Amino acid sequence: MQTYAGSHRPASPEYGAPLHDVESMMPDFYTRPALYQNDRGIDGPSVQAVLRSRYNPEAMVWIYRAVPSGVTEINIGDWVSTSKFHAQGEAESIQGRTRILEMRVRAGDLWTEGNSVNEWGYWPMCGGCTNTNRETEACPNYGITNRWLCLDCCKACCT
């Protein structure tokens, strides 16, 4: 795990709503998305990602993360955005040279607390493995029981 992550952790499957079904954290989002927008230029791509993936956890969406220039991957449990513009704004708060990482992920892998349409926790299901031995103890890095990752994938993520 990269050490550049801050202490404030993003929403997760333990508390939050997935990108494909945000209603529990963002009431009325699907009928009044403008309530959750601050800046249409920045928020527009994020709103569209939520609307396009409604009720489809398998929908593929782009995510972006501002990182120090030496970082090469997005980690499980990272803050990410579905707006490249938002990620570029976050890069301004990082000291030194930065870059924006991007990748396509399942809508069901992104979680929100409902406070920003641009900010999501990245919690993917097992990385394609077929292990059914799910983690039952709290993850040492995140302090939650991550029911989405098998024990082996959680250990790989956290070590």
For the chain, domain boundaries = 17-124, 126-159
What would the pLDDT profile of 91-111 be if each residue is shown by its tens digit? 888 888 999 999 999 999 999
| pLDDT at position 154 | 55
CB-count burial class (<10 Å; 0-12, 13-18, 19+) for 64? buried
Is the confidence at residue 29, as pLDDT, over 90? yes
| E strands, the chain, in order | 17-18, 60-68, 79-80, 98-106, 110-112, 120-122
Looking at the predicted structure, is the pLDDT value of residue 143 above 80?
no
- pTM: predicted TM-score of the whole model, two decimal places: 0.77
